[in-house]
Chains A and B, each alone.
Chain A
Amino acid sequence: MLLALRFSFRNMLHDRSRTLLSITGLSVVIASYFILSALAGAFSSYLNITTVSRNLIVIQNDLIDPSDATLEPQVIQAAQELIPGTISRISPIVFRHTRVGENVVQLRAVAEQDWEPVFHLVLLKGAWPTNDNEVVVGEGISLANAWEVGSVVQVFGCNFRVSGIFRSPGTAFASVWMPIHTFWSLFDTQHGYQAMFVQAAVGVDPETVRSRLQNDPRLANSYAVYFEDNYTHRNIQALKDFSSMMTIVSGIALLGIIFGIFNATTLSTIERSRELGIMLGIGFSHRTVRRFILIQFTLQGLLAYGVGMAAAWLYVVSQQALAPFFILGLPFSLKITPGMAASSLAWVVGLAFLGAWLSTRRLFNLRVVELLSDS
């Protein structure tokens, strides 16, 4: 083994420009893999939404943009009739997609008493709005825009003071919340609502609530009743598909190692066929000579892994420090985890070995004289 390692290092140093080129090429592939994996991982945690499954959403059917929805009073009436036995609470809501600061955000308004029990908003800083000119902003969008408690933001041409910053565990989108009366006067929507959150009473199966509401003639055909988490997940399915695609692409990038090592090994064995013939002639067995080659190119894969991981890590760290990503106003944190590093190390070693092994199969079929006369 020591002899093989010594040979490998000697050969790599002897062909240092070729070795450097191979390692650089492979490390680009490995760095791409790490960055794509980090992106996929970030998406995965971004989409890891925990919602309260007792919440249901009632919204108009067949809308391309939910912002166009309207909620008719008889629908609210149908839900109210189930209080208190079947439904513990209802919360009609209005929302708009609008530009606030540099981001398009979802502006939401509901009765203030529902913010915590129904929507699970957690106040991180400041206080809930007490005046008509106050709003609270989500943690992500405040980070993205460097908003603090006391900052002034412009919504639909009017200035609002940020009274607090909240975390919304059940909501993946960046949002700005305001009291319902503030919303109505800002947009002049005449006390209308767009959707309704319904909380199933304790001890009642939420599916029973969904079924009763869905079958109510006042909702039938015009409204759909979803579980909140299903609805949210339906909305983020595109992001999930994107995340899966990145995982697949990162896997394909890693497979590139086989081809890179196969190519480098094949070129090297063709160029060094006379030297390999000499080693066989001197008395090294085919198996031993092949082992030398396998070790050399697996080592190259390992070195490329080190360089690629270091490059990816530097990129992630500098990117996070200099220009952090925000998607839909939420911070998007790239991380190269120890688990990712360990599993990719195993893959790189395995794939590099496989590439070199496939390339050196022909060695077993060649006689010494064929190798000596190859050059």
Chain B
Amino acid sequence: MLVIAQEITKIYWRGQEKITALRGVSLQIAAGSFVFIVGPSGGGKSTLLHLLGGMDRPSSGQLFINGFSLEKASEDQLTRFRRENIGFVFQFYNLLSSLNALDNVTLPLLARGCRPKEARKLAADLLDQVGLTSRKRHKPAELSGGEQQRVAIARAVVGHPSLVIADEPTGDLDADNAKAVMQLMHDLNRSFGATFVVATHNEALTRIGDSVFELCNGELRAR
């Protein structure tokens, strides 16, 4: 199993108010699978993805990704873990506005210490693969929403992570673009062998998934 979560709880404090975002979530995800997490807004999807991506730590419970225990890891260890194991895709693309598409995709490779020339070649190949050959030198503001999300997906997979986390990747796209982006991620899942965990509102898109989990009020159940 790539992901093993046992009785994970996540509690936030908003001033004096205690918010329990996840309540005893247990989950196992096999390597190479394409998994959907569905559920209403505020149900805890993003919180779970942040934990799986090593961007946050659980309040209690155990979480192993690729054999690495996240709950007690230091900030430096989490950084190294993310660099070597995780790719992110966000709802609003989250590309760096000052960099063009090619430079955005090279970032994870540069963070790993890859030589710039080599990183640019790998990034250019991947942009070709996602259909953005002619848009490499364009900055995010010059790209459509669908194109930006394809750049973001290329950035997420360019370092060959074992786990790609996508938080509402089609939330800001029209139906056609949403379908195309989901298909692209599915294709990359098959060709790269990376595990994809995708949070979405759109139930219709979940048909291509290997498994679907529903997260509601911080409680997870398999469908």
**In contact, B56 and A3 (Cβ under 8 angstroms):** no
Cβ-closest chain B residue relative to A274: B94
Q: Which of B82, B84, B110, B112 is within 8 Å of A281, CB to CB?
A: B82
Report how far A242 CA is from B90 CA in the complex, Å: 61
- Nearest Cβ on chain A to B46's Cβ, whole angstroms: 9
**In contact, B55 and A367 (Cβ under 8 angstroms):** yes
Answer yes or no: B98 CB below 8 A from chain A CBs.
Answer: yes
Answer yes or no: B111 CB below 8 A from chain A CBs.
Answer: yes
Interface residues of A in 8-36 (CB under 8 A from B): 10-11, 13-15
**Residues on the A chain within 8 Å of B76, using CB:** 285
**In contact, B75 and A282 (Cβ under 8 angstroms):** no
Answer yes or no: B108 CB below 8 A from chain A CBs.
Answer: yes
Interface residues of A in 267-282 (CB under 8 A from B): 274-275, 278-282
Answer yes or no: B116 CB below 8 A from chain A CBs.
Answer: yes
**Residues on the A chain within 8 Å of B159, using CB:** 283
Report how far A119 CA is from B89 CA in the complex, Å: 86
**In contact, B108 and A286 (Cβ under 8 angstroms):** no
- Nearest Cβ on chain B to A144's Cβ, whole angstroms: 55
Cβ-closest chain A residue relative to B161: A283
- Nearest Cβ on chain A to B158's Cβ, whole angstroms: 10
Interface residues of B in 46-88 (CB under 8 A from A): 50, 53, 55-56, 75-76, 79-80, 82-84, 86, 88
Answer yes or no: A369 CB below 8 A from chain B CBs.
Answer: yes
Secondary structure of the A contact surface, majority rule: helix
**In contact, A283 and B116 (Cβ under 8 angstroms):** no
Answer yes or no: B1 CB below 8 A from chain A CBs.
Answer: no
Answer yes or no: A368 CB below 8 A from chain B CBs.
Answer: yes
Known: A10-B99, A367-B56, A368-B55. A283 touches B94 (CB 8 A): no
**In contact, A281 and B96 (Cβ under 8 angstroms):** no
Known: A281-B88, A284-B111. A14 touches B50 (CB 8 A): no
**In contact, A369 and B50 (Cβ under 8 angstroms):** yes
**In contact, B108 and A10 (Cβ under 8 angstroms):** no
Answer yes or no: A143 CB below 8 A from chain B CBs.
Answer: no
Answer yes or no: A372 CB below 8 A from chain B CBs.
Answer: yes
**Residues on the A chain within 8 Å of B55, using CB:** 281, 367-369, 372
Report how far A372 CA is from B116 CA in the complex, Å: 26
- Nearest Cβ on chain B to A18's Cβ, whole angstroms: 12
Report how far A140 CA is from B96 CA in the complex, Å: 62
Report how far A3 CA is from B112 CA in the complex, Å: 12
- Nearest Cβ on chain B to A103's Cβ, whole angstroms: 59
**Residues on the A chain within 8 Å of B150, using CB:** none
**In contact, B79 and A3 (Cβ under 8 angstroms):** no
**In contact, A282 and B56 (Cβ under 8 angstroms):** no
Q: Which of A15, A282, A285 is within 8 Å of B155, CB to CB?
A: A282
**In contact, A283 and B111 (Cβ under 8 angstroms):** yes
**In contact, A3 and B110 (Cβ under 8 angstroms):** yes
Report how far A11 CA is from B139 CA in the complex, Å: 13
Report how far A2 CA is from B84 CA in the complex, Å: 22
B residues at A contact (CB < 8 Å): 50, 53, 55-56, 75-76, 79-80, 82-84, 86, 88, 90, 94, 96-99, 103, 107-108, 110-112, 116, 155, 159
A residues at B contact (CB < 8 Å): 2-3, 10-11, 13-15, 274-275, 278-286, 288, 367-369, 372
